[in-house]
Amino acid sequence: MNQQTEQYSTFSADGLMFGVAVESVQEVVRHQEMTPVPLAHYTVHGLINLRGQIITAVDLRACLGLEKRPTESQPMNVVLRVEQELTSLLVDEIGDVLNLDPGCFEEPPATLPEALKKSVVKVCKLERCLMLVIDPERLMN
Amino acid sequence: MDDMDEIVKEFLVESSENLDTLDQQLVSLEKDPGNKEIINTIFRIVHTIKGTCGFLGFSKLESVTHKGESLLDSLRAERLRMSGDIATALLKVADAIRTFLITIEESGNEGQHDFTDLVQTLVALNAAEVTTTQQTIPSTPVLEDVTNYELLAELTAELEAEKASAQASITQPSATKLVSNTENKTPSNEAAKATTATAIADTSLRVDVVILDKLMNLVSELVLARNQIIQYTRRQSDPELLNSSQRLNLITSELQEGVMRTRMQPIENVWNKFPRVVRDVARSCGKEVRIEMEGKETDLDKTLIEAIKDPLTHIIRNSVDHGIEKPEERVKNGKPREGVLKLKAYHEGGYVIIEIADDGAGLNTDRIRKKALEKGVITLDQAERMSEQEVHMLIFAAGFSTAEQVTNISGRGVGMDVVRSNIQKIGGVVDVSSVSGKGTLLRIKIPLTLAIVPALIISCHGQRFAIPQVSLVELVRIPHENTEQMLEAVDAALFYRLRGNLLPLVQLDKQLKLSSSSDLAGQTIVVIRSEDGLFGLVVESIHDTEEIVVKPLSKRLKDVKVFSGATIMGDGKVALILDVGAFAQYATNHHESVANLQHDQVKSMHGSESSLNMLLMSCGQGQLATPLSDVHRLENLKASELEFAGGCAMIQYRGSIMPLYNIATLLGRNSDVSQASKAESIAEHSVVVYSHNGRSVGLMVDQIIDIVDQKLNIDLTAQRQGVRGTAVLAGKVTEVIDLAQLAELTDHLSCAGANGAQI
């Protein structure tokens, strides 16, 4: 039985757990000094300097219509490669990289809020919670 | 087969270079038909291409070039004389070769092109013989007469075999060999030329542009890293560290310069196509035009060269098609038959300036104005108010074309605005100036490189932004107090009175929605030149100018029009680069109001509703007044201090020599002074000192009466040079004088003439 496991990078925001295919993740970096971009879309939190490259940081909570992050908390950066560009996703906390059996994935439940339905392609039942798998392209557009 | 691909690639690159030279040489030959050197050069090029494509199996291409070569040979042997038809046919051969090359590049084979017509034309031209007597040809390293043709044919066959297995650059010495075989003279010129040609070939090498791009990126990163290090080491005191970082600084700057230069190419690479373009367009319009080029060694970055190719071509076609008149018309107007198109390029302060001037009919202001009205580009109001220069700039408006006929060359109305936007895309600006009947001049200014630009760093609401220097004109500080006097509001838009003109203001913090206050005290106005004129961007404070590395913003942020990119500052933080054009849009709406306002002002000269400080003086029987703000100082000068030079009164004033004029004389009337001084000198003179063109000038008046602060209502009926009009001040009818205009009067005076010996 050839079970190819798929690797997912996981992180959380507003109590929800998310995962993206590990191939789209370039790196994970702690909170960086951010330069806000006036007049930009509300999901764009700002620009960061990643070893000389200027990367746009997008707030996951804002993209999914979740509640705003409490002001004291410092988000982490998940740097994703989307459409040949690097974009950083701001999340609350970083989780582990999980090796998952493709068979464990299911369709997203119908009860999922609209804002999430757009970006969540499938879900996976983990031991303690449900992991929502996100498609970065759909999330950012 | 990889080896073959390499050879084909080489063939394509070298042939396309050769084709450009071919065009130039053919156009030159048409003007100088007997020039043997040019004929030989052309022959060699065509011959080379023929040889290589024979080797590579491109038989169709080979047959076209072969017929072309035969024609050239007839020219060389003087069996035929150069003519317009022959030139056209040969240029068509060049075009045919280009078409083949494109197909070869795309598909690897010759494709299905059919040039039988061209081939027939070439054969027909070649068959026509010149029947005039054969003249003895001066001995130059070419064939002496037809009888050597058979020998040439033999040697050519030999040579072809040799050439087929060699690279193009080696054909130069082979050509020498060929000639020395036919005659036993050593054409030293040819040999010398050939060896220098190979010598030059040895000192340069071909580098893939991709590699140079990579180098350029690395150098940009190095510049940023260097900036950061310099920032930190400034705060250190360790001498060795300071030394090393200083060296790093110097080396990085030199490296940056050097790498930039590798990507620079002379503008000649673009210009060398133009003689042909001008020739073709002129021929098809029935005009005679020659092109002159100055500064073709001026170099720019390769990407910029690519970008200006099309705009320049369009401008040139336009000039020939619409600018330059037909020969008969030119002669009628006293101009030489042949029109001249002058191209000029030079470096100036980090930019490349390209000027294209023609001596044609110039822009027709009225026609442009009319067309713009018709097309709804401007309103009737605007049309009446626009200056000639502003009307000329309308040619860059979208959808605009005054060409009576749309030719296939130009006139479709999509030309000039595309030209301007292409130039703007590379960070440049273009403007036009024209004199009716004399000609038109187009001036393009582009930065030397896109990647690293000098910029002014400003801050607004705690955030830093960069403004590229290319459009910066000046900086004006708004004082903390009395801001109401400098600023004016028209229809909720703010303006600043800058040297008499109203400058529309755009508040950066408001536009970025960072703040909504309109308190501008203590802020700075950055005066920027945009397409529609000057406007001022109000920012909180300015830092210094820096060379910044421009990094593009992500696609996601492309909608935010106000930013054109981002950069990393010396301290590692990201700063956004402002797009000046976007802010200019906000200011455009204000320009309307300005135009209205200024227009009304000129008409009624109302000055302002607020009161002015006026200086009252007496002169003869009447009272004079001038705005106190125009006056520099008021002095009482002793008569004994006055000195005379060349019949003019002067005084040593604050370390320089100040000329003195009697206001009464300037205004052309008698004054108490002149009458009294006939009897005796006055002990003291009241002098109004003001500044004109950087110098101080003194105006002598009878008496300084008072300074009053009151509203000014000027009656313009008594207007003349130096006098704005009359008003009632301090209860008396007073002439309001204009010191600036009086100053201009003094410029034209010759002291002895106007003042006589009197003062």
Digit-coded pLDDT (tens) for B382-408:
777 777 887 888 888 766 665 554 555
Segment among A22-31, A114-123, B546-555, B664-673 with least mean pLDDT: B664-673
What is the 8-class DSSP label of residue B325?
A: P
Contact B527, B538 (CB under 8 A): no
pLDDT for res B465: 95
Confidence (pLDDT) at B293: 93
- Between the CA of residue B400 and those of B418, B521, B692, what are the distances in Å? 11, 43, 43
pLDDT at B166: 52
Which residue from B555, B562, B573 is facing A85, i.e. has the nearest CB?
B555
Residue B158 pLDDT: 62
Candidates B196, B165, B162, B164; CA nearest to B181 is: B162
Alpha carbon distances (Å) from B468 to B166, B305, B472, B581: 51, 21, 7, 11
Whether A56 sits inside 8 A of B557 (CB atoms) is yes
* C-alpha dihedral (B664, B668, B672, B675), degrees to nearest 10: 130
Of B221, B555, B557, the CB nearest to A37: B557
Q: Do the chains contact at B554 and A85, CB–CB below 8 Å? A: yes
Provide the CB-side half-sphere exposure for B667 (13 A, CA): 26
Could you give the ipTM of this predicted complex?
0.89
Cβ contacts of A49 on chain B, cutoff 8 Å = 568, 572-574
- pLDDT-derived band at B177 (thresholds 50, 70, 90) equals very low
B145 interface with A at CB cutoff 8 Å: no
What band does B491 get if pLDDT is binned at 50, 70 and 90? low
DSSP B237: -
Digit-coded pLDDT (tens) for B349-384: 667 899 999 998 888 888 888 888 888 777 787 777
Across residues B110-116, what is the average pLDDT? 78
Mean pLDDT across B303-331: 88
A56 to chain B, closest Cα gap in Å = 7
CB contact under 8 A, B556 and A37: no
Average pLDDT (B11-18) is: 82
Tokens coding B412:
């479709």
- ∠ at Cα B26 (B22, B27), nearest 5°? 120
Residues B748 and B759: their CA atoms lie apart, in Å, by 17
Non-local CB neighbours of B706 within 8 Å, separated by 6+ positions: B616, B730
The alpha carbon of residue A48 is apart from the nearest alpha carbon of chain B, in Å, by 7
> CA-to-CA distance for B224 and B167, rounded, in angstroms?
43
Distance between CA B97 and CA B320 in Å, rounded? 26
| Contacts by residues B197-204 (CB-CB < 8 Å, ≥ 24 positions apart) | B197/B169, B197/B172, B198/B169, B198/B170, B198/B172, B198/B173, B201/B169
Most confident of the following: A101-110, B173-182, B525-534, B730-739:
A101-110
Q: Crossing angle, helix B239-262 and helix B209-233, to 10 degrees?
A: 160
> Which residues, including other chains, have CB under 8 Å from residue B673's CB and lie 6 or more apart?
B662, B664, B682, B685, B700, B702, B759
CA torsion sign, B324 to B325 to B331 to B332?
Answer: negative
Average pLDDT, chain B: 77
- Check: CB of residue B591 under 8 Å from CB of residue B703: no
B573 interfacial to chain A (CB closer than 8 Å): yes
Structure tokens at B400: 């605009």
Q: Which residue has the tokens 């069996």?
A: B79
SS (H, E, C) A27-74: EEECCCCCECCCCCCCCEEEEEEECCEEEEEEEHHHHCCCCCCCCCCC
Q: Which residues of A touch B463 (CB under 8 A)?
A: 35-36, 38
- A-side interface with B, Cβ within 8 Å? 33, 35-41, 44, 46-49, 52-56, 58, 83, 85, 87, 140
Is this prediction's pTM over 0.80?
A: no
Q: Find the mean pLDDT for residues B177-202.
A: 45
B554 touches chain A (CB under 8 A): yes
Backbone angles phi, psi at B23, to 5 degrees: -55, -50
Asked if B574 is an interface residue toward chain A (Cβ–Cβ < 8 A), one would say yes
Q: Do A37 and B572 touch (CB under 8 A)?
A: no
